[in-house]
Every structure is written in C-alpha cells, then in structure tokens.
Amino acid sequence: MTAALISITLRSLLNRRRTLFLGLLGLLLVAVAALYRLNAPDATESLEVTRGLLADFGIGVLLPLVAVIVGTAALGSEIEDGTIVYLLARPVPRWRIVIVKLLISWLLTCLLVAPAIFVAGMIGHGDAQLAFGYAAASITGALEYCAVFVALSIVTTRALIIGLAYVVVWEGFVAALFAGTRPISIRQHALSVAEAFGGSGAGVAELELANAVVIAAVVTVGAVLLAVRRLQTVELRGETA
C-alpha cells in the first residue's frame, strides 16, 4: 500500500505544467548567475554577489515558492477534489500517509531547488564549498517548509494563498525588519546551515546553528503531529457523512 501511495502522490505532484514552471524557476537562478559571470568580476565581488544571489533568490524566493506549491498540493489536491475519502477508506495508518506525502514533496522540492542552487553557486563564484553549503541549506529548509505546508493544506482549503502570504509577508518583510522574529523564520534556519557548511564566505545568517536546528526540529515535528491529527479528523467527517 505504501508503494501505491507513493505512486499516487507522484502522479498528483508531477503535473506537467507545474513541474515545468518550477523547473524554469531553477533555471532562472542559474541563468542570472551565468549572466553575471560574463562580466568577469573579481573574486571579492563575485563572492559578495553570488552569496547575495543564493541567499536572497535561492533560499529566499526559489526554495519557499517551490515548497509551498509542492507541499500544499501533496495532500491538498486530494482534499479539494474529494478523493481523500477513498484514500482514508483503506487500512493505512494516518501517520504513514502524512509521512509519505511529506517525504515525496520534500524529495521533489530538493530535486527542483538544490541542484539549481549548487550550479548557480559554482558558476557565480566557483567555490564548491560555498555552493554545497547553500545546497545543503536548501535541503534542510525544504523539509521544514514542506512539513508546514503539508499540515497547512489539511488545516485550510486556502493553504496555497496563506502559504504565499507567509513567504512574502513574514519571511520577506517581518523577519527581515524585526530581529526578534528571526528565530521562527524558516529562511533564517536554512541560512544558518549555509553559514555552517559553506565556508567563511557564506556567513549571512543571524541565528546560531544550534538554535536553528532545535527550532526547526520542533517546527517540523509539530507540523507532522498536527497534520496527523487533522487527517484523523477528516476521517471522522468521512465516517459521519
């Protein structure tokens, strides 16, 4: 049944238009890095610009945008069209459904984001450690983002809109403006990983790695538990109906 669940999830997420659009976003990041590199900047300038590109566009825009589209669709599409009832009618533990949906959405997000960030980093500055650090940050950030957005898709039918609002308003404006909100910013959690693994030139985080890891773990586990609980509620509604 797990294999069937994986197959169903992949079919729902690998929508041709959606996948093409998300893939083009990653290519856009690589293209910007390539265009900048054509100017033959010096090492100091290329480091600063590439770091800003990876942090602001890669981690700040590409990662959350892909995660919110993929994460909210992993379960949200089935809830919207009513097919979730058939899934819940099968003898599958609700936690397994949530975990499979989360892992598939996480894997797809990583495949669409991490390689693009790594290639853009290599093109922009040519530092493998810097590129690896930001790619690793996108992978860890993708897990937290996807967990939140999968849970959000079960809580509300407007998950995509709310998720986009969170990315734009909270991550893009509030966390950037008010230092006290940064400990609960997923972007800051990811940037802490980039700083830890990207070498001395990757330092853009405003949160210690240890604190970021603890908070990210709490958020991820909490989102999974909320999703499981809410999915049980959906099951109860289906039985009542």
Per-residue model confidence as pLDDT tens digits over 17-62: 777 888 899 999 999 999 998 887 787 888 889 999 999 999 999 9
12: which 2 tokens? 């729902």
CA 190-215-210 angle, to 5 degrees, is: 70
- CB-based contact 195:204 (threshold 8 Å): yes
Range of the domain at 154: 2-240
Q: Is the dihedral of CA 3, 71, 114, 129 positive or negative?
A: negative
pLDDT at 9: 76
Residue 58: CB atoms within 10 Å = 29
How many domains in the chain?
A: 1
pLDDT at 240: 34
Residue 8 pLDDT exceeds 80: no
pLDDT at 236: 44
Amino acid letter for position 78: E
* pTM of the predicted model as reported, rounded to 2 decimal places: 0.89
Q: Name the band, by pLDDT with cuts 50, 70 and 90, for residue 6.
A: confident
User: pLDDT tens across 172-212, in order?
Assistant: 778 777 767 778 889 999 999 999 998 766 677 778 889 99
- CB-based contact 194:202 (threshold 8 Å): yes
